């Protein structure tokens, strides 16, 4: 049966106290709305209609980039201005909704709802009846209560409109429902705002469904995380921690050893081989893949990178491959305090030590740069030893140029290799050299002031005043 999805995202989010529309605040590195859109996409709907209002232009711009990543999803927008309640929000979608099939209504600020729960709700609806996702968990204060007669759902009563007896009801409405679209349209046309908030409540359609014989069923969940909404920075932080805990536990189930699940953050995807260990305070972003036996030291920030088997990343290392990616070869040693930037490709057994920065450079098997160095736009051969304090001068102020260091070269300390330049295989560059011309293979090249000695030279003596 065809499915259309409406995401309500017009609310102001006053309690976030932010210029940014609430649904664009990030949880685990993705906008709240992005979480909902990604989950919605898994249901393969005919269309995805986002109701925007506050910060609508920002929300649409953010959706444009989501659309690029999900080209098969038919994004549509409707504007709700002013915001007169959840029923009014869904009314705005009516002109772009089809007449048949099922409409699923989601909240842009309930990010962790899972596709399986939505699928169960759509199945319960079956295009025949109204289906509500309800919750029996935690404190229901503030939420709409599910009123039943015996087992049958009769109505949702908003907290503000509820009697003291109704406020004792513990089952509450998550804000997510699935409805037969034709009936939904009819019910929406009959909504009134005769309530304490003078709003058009979407929840009033429950009584209509019961009265006209369509009927209403509830699909109950006890998973508070899936239905938790974000209204404030505190709630955002709490949900972030719960989400991170879920991810951490899922990794540990796969055998990954985390020193402390509470000090682990994954804002993207992390693939791990066997016997991977991750110390405290690490943040992973984008797409990261760790091979067998990889060890990640404490307080590393690692993004968009592939690390092969047996590599060890020592503490406080920063890796971000951005679009180009970073790859670290098997058995490589990186850090502490190393920085790998986009296009850094380290071969097997490469060593990158403290305060070494590598950008858009390839280091072949066994090459080493152990201290205080910069390699940018360089091709480094096997077994090269790159001395402390040496840099490639890759940028002439207008263009970038390449430095080639052939196999078995030894670059002394504090050298400047002015690109474009090639250091011939097996050659040695004397410490403190500024190399501007290609050097021959196998030779010692030195480019620095010659050392002189003045024998018998006396230091000046302080004159009396
Ligand atoms: C709503 C439900 C309540 C349920 C709760 C779950 C109604 C009347 N009540 O409460 O039963 O327990 O969700 O969280 O539906 N929005 C718009 N336009 C509006 C108003 C809201 O787009 O005019 C959007 C908000 O941005 C938000 C969502 O709808 O994403 C829910 O709005 P919110 O005000 O948080 O929900 P309540 O009305 O308090
Ligand atoms: Ca409200």
pLDDT in tens, 203-226: 999 999 999 999 999 999 999 999
Alpha-carbon distance of 444 to 434, in angstroms, equals 13
**N-to-C CA span, the chain:** 102
* pLDDT for the residue numbered 340: 99
By the 8 A CB rule, do 412 and 386 touch?
no
Domain boundaries, the chain: 3-221, 242-445
Mean pLDDT of 378-387: 98
d(CA 261, ligand 2 centre) in Å: 35
Give the pLDDT band of residue 277 (cuts 50, 70, 90): very high
Alpha-carbon distance of 425 to 442, in angstroms, equals 6
Mean pLDDT of 255-277: 98
The residues, ordered by sequence, that sit 6+ positions from 150 with a Cβ below 8 Å of its Cβ are: none
Task: Identify the residue with better confidence: 454 or 12.
Answer: 454
* 53, pLDDT greater than 90: yes
Mean pLDDT of 254-265: 98
Alpha-carbon distance of 289 to 335, in angstroms, equals 18
d(CA 5, ligand 2 centre) in Å: 20
Report the candidate in 278, 305, 304, 277 with the shortest Cα–Cα distance to residue 293.
277
What's the CATH fold of domain 3-221? Spore Coat Polysaccharide Biosynthesis Protein SpsA; Chain A (3.90.550)
d(CA 403, ligand 2 centre) in Å: 61
- Locate the ligand 1 atom nearest the alpha carbon of residue 172 and give its number: 12
- Locate the ligand 1 atom nearest the alpha carbon of residue 201 and give its number: 8
Alpha-carbon distance of 393 to 419, in angstroms, equals 6
Q: Whose CA is nearest to atom 10 of ligand 1?
A: 143
Q: Which of 5, 6, 9, 11 to mutate to test the pocket of ligand 1 (most atoms within 8 A of CB)?
A: 11
Q: Whose CA is nearest to atom 5 of ligand 1?
A: 175
Mean pLDDT of 314-330: 98
71-123 pLDDT, tens per residue?
999 999 999 999 999 999 999 999 999 999 999 999 999 999 999 999 999 99
* pLDDT for the residue numbered 266: 98
Task: Give the CA distances from residue 353 to residues 25, 203, 340, in Å, rounded to whole numbers and listed in that order.
Answer: 37, 61, 11
* pLDDT for the residue numbered 464: 86
- Locate the ligand 1 atom nearest the alpha carbon of residue 143 and give its number: 12
* pLDDT for the residue numbered 377: 98
* pLDDT for the residue numbered 383: 98
Q: Which segment of 335-339, 361-365, 458-462 scores lowest on mean pLDDT?
A: 458-462
282-316 pLDDT, tens per residue?
999 999 999 999 999 999 999 999 999 999 999 99
* pLDDT for the residue numbered 12: 84
Alpha-carbon distance of 111 to 163, in angstroms, equals 30
d(CA 118, ligand 2 centre) in Å: 22
Annotated active-site positions, please? 371
Q: Which of 86, 142, 162, 205 to mutate to test the pocket of ligand 1 (most atoms within 8 A of CB)?
A: 86
By the 8 A CB rule, do 102 and 127 touch?
yes
DSSP β-bridge partners for residue 270? 288
In the predicted model, what is the mean pLDDT of the chain?
Answer: 97
Alpha-carbon distance of 370 to 379, in angstroms, equals 17
- Locate the ligand 1 atom nearest the alpha carbon of residue 51 and give its number: 22
Mean pLDDT of 400-429: 98
* pLDDT for the residue numbered 78: 96
Task: Give the CA distances from residue 102 to residues 67, 108, 248, 289, 429, in Å, rounded to whole numbers and listed in that order.
Answer: 22, 19, 36, 39, 72
User: What is the number of residues in the chain?
Assistant: 465
Task: Give the CA distances from residue 453 to residues 17, 446, 450, in Å, rounded to whole numbers and listed in that order.
Answer: 69, 19, 10
Ligand 1 shell residues, CB under 6 Å? 8-11, 51, 53, 80, 83-86, 88-89, 107-109, 143-144, 156, 158, 172-175, 201-203, 229
Alpha-carbon distance of 7 to 436, in angstroms, equals 61
Q: Whose CA is nearest to atom 19 of ligand 1?
A: 85
Q: Whose CA is nearest to atom 1 of ligand 1?
A: 175
* 465, pLDDT greater than 90: no
- Locate the ligand 1 atom nearest the alpha carbon of residue 53 and give its number: 22
Alpha-carbon distance of 192 to 314, in angstroms, equals 63
Q: Is the peptide bond before 208 cis (omega within 30 degrees of 0)?
A: no
In words, the CATH class of domain 242-445 is mainly beta
3-state secondary structure the chain: CCEEEEEEECCCCHHHCCCCCHHHCEECCEEHHHHHHHHHHHCCCCEEEEEEECEHHHHHHHHHHHHHHCCCCCEEEEECCCCCCHHHHHHHHHHHCCCCCEEEEEECCCCCCCHHHHHHHHHHHCCCCEEEEEECCCCCCCCCEEEEECCEEEEEECHHHCCHHHHCCCCEEEEEEEEEHHHHHHHHHCCCCCCCCCCCCHHHHHHHHHHCCCCEEEEEECCHHHHCCCCCHHHHHHHHHHHHHHHHHHHHHCCCEECCHHHEEEEEEEEECCCCEECCCEEEEEEEEECCCCEECCCCEEEEEEECCCCEECCCCEEECCCCCEEECCCCEECCCCEECCCCEECCCCEEEEEEEEECCEECCCCEEEEEEEEECEEECCCCEECCCCEEECECCCCECCEEECCCCEECCCCEEECCEEECCCCEECCCCEECCCECCCCEECCCCCCCCCCCCCCCCCCCC
């Amino acid at each position: 049966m065809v499915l259309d999805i409406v995401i309500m995202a017009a609310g102001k989010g006053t309690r976030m106290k932010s210029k940014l529309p609430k649904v664009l605040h990030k949880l685990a590195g993705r906008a709240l709305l992005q979480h909902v859109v990604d989950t919605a996409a898994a249901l393969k709907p005919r269309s995805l209609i986002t109701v925007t209002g506050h910060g609508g232009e920002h929300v649409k711009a953010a959706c444009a980039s989501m659309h690029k990543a999900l080209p098969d999803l038919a994004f549509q927008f409707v504007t709700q201005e002013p915001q007169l309640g959840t029923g009014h929000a869904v009314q705005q979608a009516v002109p772009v909704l089809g007449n048949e099939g099922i409409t699923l209504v989601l909240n842009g600020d309930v990010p962790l709802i899972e596709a399986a729960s939505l699928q169960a709700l759509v199945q319960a609806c079956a295009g025949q009846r109204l289906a509500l996702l309800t919750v029996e968990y935690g404190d229901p204060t503030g939420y709409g209560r599910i009123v039943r007669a015996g087992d049958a759902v009769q109505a949702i009563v908003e907290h503000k409109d509820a009697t003291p007896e109704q406020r004792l009801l513990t089952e509450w409405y998550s804000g997510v429902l699935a409805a037969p679209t034709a009936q939904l349209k009819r019910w929406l046309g009959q909504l009134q705002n005769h309530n304490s908030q003078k709003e058009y409540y979407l929840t009033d359609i429950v009584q209509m469904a019961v009265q006209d014989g369509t009927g209403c069923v509830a699909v109950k969940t006890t998973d508070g995380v899936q239905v938790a909404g974000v209204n404030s920075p505190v709630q955002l932080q709490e949900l972030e921690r719960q989400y991170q805990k879920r991810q951490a536990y899922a990794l540990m189930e796969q055998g990954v050893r985390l020193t402390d699940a509470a000090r682990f953050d994954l804002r993207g995807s992390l693939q791990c081989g066997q016997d991977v260990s991750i110390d405290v305070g690490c943040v992973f972003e984008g797409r990261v893949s760790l091979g067998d036996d990889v060890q990640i030291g404490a307080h590393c920030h690692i993004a968009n990178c592939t690390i092969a088997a047996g590599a060890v990343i020592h503490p406080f290392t920063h890796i971000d491959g951005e679009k180009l990616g970073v790859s670290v070869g098997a058995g490589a040693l990186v850090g502490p305090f190393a920085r790998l930037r986009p296009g850094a490709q380290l071969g097997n057994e490469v060593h990158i030590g403290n305060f070494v920065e590598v950008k858009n450079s390839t280091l072949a098997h066994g090459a080493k740069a152990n201290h205080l160095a910069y390699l940018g736009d360089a091709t480094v051969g096997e077994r090269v030893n790159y001395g402390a304090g040496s840099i490639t001068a890759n940028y002439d102020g207008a263009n970038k140029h390449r430095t080639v260091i052939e196999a078995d070269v030894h670059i002394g300390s504090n050298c400047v290799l002015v690109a474009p330049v090639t250091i011939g295989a097996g050659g040695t560059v004397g410490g403190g050299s500024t190399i501007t011309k290609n050097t021959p293979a196998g030779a010692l090249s030195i480019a620095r002031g010659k050392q002189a000695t003045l024998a018998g030279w006396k230091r000046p003596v302080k004159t009396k005043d």
